[in-house]
Amino acid sequence: ANDNMNNIEKSLVIIKPDGVRKKIIGEIISRFEKENLTIEKLKMMKISRDLAYKHYQDHKSKNFFNILIDYITSGPVVVMIVSGKNAISRVRELMGSTDSKKAKQGTIRGDFGVDITINVIHGSDSVESAKREIDLFF
């Protein structure tokens, strides 16, 4: 669907409260930069419950929804727009599997995550969700 030869994409990335608490913001950013991805915008904020509901609207019906909301609103987060060639798939590769227990060593979640919920980081999973998420946060 993207006829741009270089396929420059933008992804919304959130370093979640556990990532901020573990003081690995710089480590995570440097992993993206080493892969030649660009940090276009960045801010630290506390996500309101209202914003969290909008962000996680696709998971409303799931039994872990409230845990997700409580967790993402439990402390400050760092929200950024990461861009570059095939940024969405590359960010997801660097993050590792959603379930930190299954994520490979050397990925952000494999190195720092605890489980499927407390997994340090969020990254958009498609061009459409990236656009929606960027509009929510920036």
Residues annotated as part of the active site: 122
CB 132 within 8 A of CB 122: no
Residue 77 phi, psi dihedral angles, 5° rounding: -130, 165
Tell me the CA distances in angstroms from 6 to 2, 82, 98, one per residue in order.
Answer: 9, 15, 27
How many angstroms separate the CA atoms of 14 and 52, rounded? 12
